[in-house]
Amino acid sequence: MTFWNDPIHFIAEWLRGLFIGWGMSGDVANVLIALIGAVVLASVAMVLDILLVWVERKVVARFQDRLGPNRLGPFGLFQPFADILKLIIKENITPAGADKVPYNIAPILAMTAVLLLWAVLPLAPTIFGVDLNVGALYLIAAGALGTLAIILAGWSSNNKFALIGAFRAVAMMVSYEIPMVVTLLIPTILAGTMSLNGMVKAQDVWFVVLSPLAVIIFLISAVAELGRAPFDLNEAESELVAGYHVEYSGMKFGLFYAAELLHAFTFGGFMAVLFFGGWRGPWAEQYPLLGLLYFFVKAMIGYWVFMWIRYTMPRIRIDHMLAFNWKFLTPLAFVLLMVTALVDKALAGAETWVYALGMFLANVVVAWVTVEILRAYSRRRRLEEEAPAKQVIRTGVEGQAAHH
Amino acid sequence: MVDAWLYIGLFLLVGIVIPGMAIMISWLVAPRKPNPVKQSPYECGVETVGESRVQFKAQYYIFTLVFLVFDVETVFLFPWAVALGKLPLFVALEGIVFILILVAGLVYAWRKGMLEWV
């Protein structure tokens, strides 16, 4: 074992030797090393978050045909540090009548919920916080904590805008959680494990090839779960000012903002892990640091797609949003789950390429049937709408005939 | 190496301390000069009328009920999905039947008009 093929354990072993040399017992040394690991991983996430502020501002500027921050440092790279400094020295205003305890817990919880996701994110073959055997379930559980932070913030702010924003966030979360959980079941079936690192290891063929529809459903429900446009009803600035965090200022607002950005990047990472082969790439097995690079590139591309969607789509209306989920996404996700299970069972003993081809074709068939159903439905709707108009024209023609 | 859930516990601790520290630093440096105008709820300059914690629309509650049914039952599907490769065909089909029962619930709610935002 050298640094290059297992860096984390190499450092951990070295630290362990050091701590035991200082006269600690093995158990204490282990816990201390785990704590150091957790601090390092969380700090990496936070530093990345600072970078994401810059990336987000720069990319949105490009989408809107602007330059973005370009004064502080090369390409405006130091802008986020100035932002943080500004947020720290700003006054934290607590509105009168606010419920103090939940009001102060909410921003911390928002950040904690996102950081907790990083504990299971497999960054490279041997670089990850912990490889839980129920990783997929943990992902859902920790992801839902963020919504709790939103409703705490909305309820405790003593502001109607904030409260309405929180209600909307909950309606959205409870709706889009269903297709997300169901699409998480699909990689679970394909990999035969809930462990996220196990899923990456099982992706000899990327799951995006096996189940492209699941990727699309997961992407849409992830955007809704993140509360980003077109599903940003919880902070719709044209109607609710800023939604659930309208009463927050200074660093407390900053934490909500940072949590949102890091959440988006983390879900980009989960897209990469679940469907795009995570850290897999040439020589990633031998050199985990290379796997780390692959993972971050894939996660960044996922994050870029989230930004692309956010700055391209207009906001969706709440009844449309709920109808889109319950009447389209959820049934489609369940049908896809059943088809995936059946095809998996039918092709259990087949060779890899036969299995992959069968899965892919099954997805194509499901997509095609969905499009056909939608087309038939919209045709029926159109005919119903046109029917009275046609009648008027006919009577008009008949009237003319009678006149002649 | 420590137990996986102990690590999650440590991570939770770190995850609370790091954002907590950010707020603490801000609490130390930021000015504190509250006054009634500053602390009034922001409603675009208009005085708040009545209670701020208003009643919510009943439709939210109904969506939450539908969600509850699905979420609890999809949790049951996870063990089934993990073991699918090793299960006999009959048990795999039973899982499908279970999903169909779930979908029947959705169709029922749909037909009852529960999914309309009115």
Q: Is the pLDDT of residue A116 over 80?
A: yes
The residue of A15, A81, A255 whose CB has the most chain B CBs within 10 angstroms, and thus the best one to mutate to test that interface, is A255
- Name the range with the highest mean pLDDT among A9-23, A315-329, B58-72: A315-329
Do A129 and A118 touch, CB atoms closer than 8 A? Answer: yes
Q: Residue ranges per domain, chain B? A: 4-111
Whole-number pLDDT of residue A368: 92
How crowded is the C-beta side of A275, counted as CA atoms within 13 Å?
Answer: 23
Whole-number pLDDT of residue A69: 85
**Distance separating alpha carbons of residues A64 and A311, to the nearest angstrom:** 8
In this complex, do A88 and B29 lie within 8 Å of one another by their Cβ atoms? yes
How crowded is the C-beta side of A312, counted as CA atoms within 13 Å?
Answer: 6
B4 interfacial to chain A (CB closer than 8 Å): yes
Across the interface, of A12, A91, A115, the residue whose CB is closest to B31 is: A91
B62 interfacial to chain A (CB closer than 8 Å): no
pLDDT digits (tens, 9 = 90+) for A125-144: 877 778 888 888 888 888 88
In this complex, do B53 and A155 lie within 8 Å of one another by their Cβ atoms? yes
Across the interface, of B1, B38, B103, the residue whose CB is closest to A334 is: B103
Q: What is the DSSP letter of A329?
A: I
Average pLDDT over residues A143-166: 84
Q: Residue A403: enclosing H or E segment and its boundaries?
A: helix A352-403
Average pLDDT over residues A271-295: 83
**Distance separating alpha carbons of residues A318 and A227, to the nearest angstrom:** 12
The residue of A116, A117, A183, A260 whose CB has the most chain B CBs within 10 angstroms, and thus the best one to mutate to test that interface, is A116
Spell out the residues 6+ positions from residue A178 whose beta carbon is closer than 8 angstroms to its own. Answer: A325, A330, A333, B67, B70, B71, B74
In this complex, do A35 and B10 lie within 8 Å of one another by their Cβ atoms? yes
Query: Hey, which residues does A124 pair with through a beta bridge?
Result: A127
Whole-number pLDDT of residue A393: 56
Lowest mean pLDDT among A44-58, A118-132, A264-278, A368-382: A118-132
**Distance separating alpha carbons of residues A269 and A273, to the nearest angstrom:** 6
Chain B positions touching A87 (Cβ under 8 A) are 26
User: Does the pTM of the predicted model rise above 0.90?
Assistant: no
In this complex, do B12 and A97 lie within 8 Å of one another by their Cβ atoms? no
**Distance separating alpha carbons of residues A1 and B110, to the nearest angstrom:** 59
Chain B positions touching A318 (Cβ under 8 A) are 117
Average pLDDT over residues B8-20: 88
Average pLDDT over residues B39-62: 73
> In this predicted complex, what is the ipTM?
0.85
Name the CATH superfamily housing domain B4-111: NADH:ubiquinone/plastoquinone oxidoreductase, chain 3 (1.20.58.1610)
